């Protein structure tokens, strides 16, 4: 009986509730469509891109001309003493090639400032078990083949 009474009251109240509700939502309650389009920004200025190049042609293998630096090799493995662009500068030897960075900062990322003036850094396997060989720039100068100043 109670169910019948509730159902009857609900039927009587439904038309009254329908008359009280507006037919549509007030336009002030509607928001605009979310615009996910982002206005593109102008591209950054273009940098001058050069090809990778050989800078040393060495008559002997690097271990015969430079010393292995264990501390710099460990930093290299952790990414704290690395070439800015792997393989941008190369040293060719009769057996293999090495990546090159200079103590003046050319192609060298050295946030802990471990570089020494007048040195050349040769990188062997920079993406794996990195080894860093340090050579004296003045002694290696006869084997320097480029780039030329101003290039």
Examine residue 97 and state whether it is found in any structural domain, yes or no.
yes
pLDDT of residue 2: 57
Q: Which residue has the higher pLDDT, 45 or 81?
A: 81
Examine residue 38 and state whether it is found in any structural domain, yes or no.
no
Examine residue 32 and state whether it is found in any structural domain, yes or no.
no
Check pLDDT > 60 for residue 5: no
Examine residue 44 and state whether it is found in any structural domain, yes or no.
no
Which of the listed ranges 2-6, 19-23, 85-89, 96-100 does the model predict with the highest average pLDDT? Answer: 96-100
Side-chain half-sphere exposure of 107, counting CA atoms within 13 A: 20
Check pLDDT > 90 for residue 12: no
**Do the bridges between strand 119-124 and strand 97-102 make them parallel or antiparallel, or are there none, so unpaired?**
antiparallel
Check pLDDT > 90 for residue 131: yes
- The arithmetic mean of pLDDT across residues 92-114, rounded, is 92
pLDDT of residue 35: 66
pLDDT band at 88 (very low <50, low <70, confident <90, very high): confident
Check pLDDT > 70 for residue 95: yes
Q: What is the pTM of this model?
A: 0.64
Examine residue 96 and state whether it is found in any structural domain, yes or no.
yes
Examine residue 99 and state whether it is found in any structural domain, yes or no.
yes
The three-point CA angle 42-45-48 to 5° equals 150
Q: Which residue range is the domain that position 87 belongs to?
A: 53-143
Examine residue 8 and state whether it is found in any structural domain, yes or no.
no
pLDDT of residue 87: 79
SS3 89: strand
In the chain, which ranges are E strands?
53-57, 67-68, 82-83, 89-92, 97-102, 108-109, 119-124, 131-136
Examine residue 41 and state whether it is found in any structural domain, yes or no.
no
* Number of domains forming the structure of the chain: 1
pLDDT of residue 146: 78
Average pLDDT of the chain is 80
């Amino acid at each position: 009986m109670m169910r019948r009474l509730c159902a009857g009251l609900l039927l009587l109240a439904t038309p009254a509730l329908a008359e009280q509700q507006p037919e549509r939502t007030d336009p002030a309650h509607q928001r605009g469509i979310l615009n996910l389009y982002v206005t593109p920004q102008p591209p950054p200025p273009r940098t001058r891109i050069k090809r990778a190049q050989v800078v040393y042609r060495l008559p002997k293998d690097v271990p015969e001309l430079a010393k292995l630096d264990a501390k710099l090799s460990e930093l290299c493995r952790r990414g704290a003493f690395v070439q800015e662009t792997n393989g941008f500068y190369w040293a060719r030897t009769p057996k293999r090639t090495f990546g090159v960075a200079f103590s003046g900062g050319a192609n060298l990322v050295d946030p802990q400032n471990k570089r020494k003036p007048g040195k050349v850094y040769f990188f062997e396997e920079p993406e794996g078990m990195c080894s860093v060989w340090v050579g004296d720039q003045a002694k290696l100068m006869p084997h320097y083949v480029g780039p030329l100043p101003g290039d």
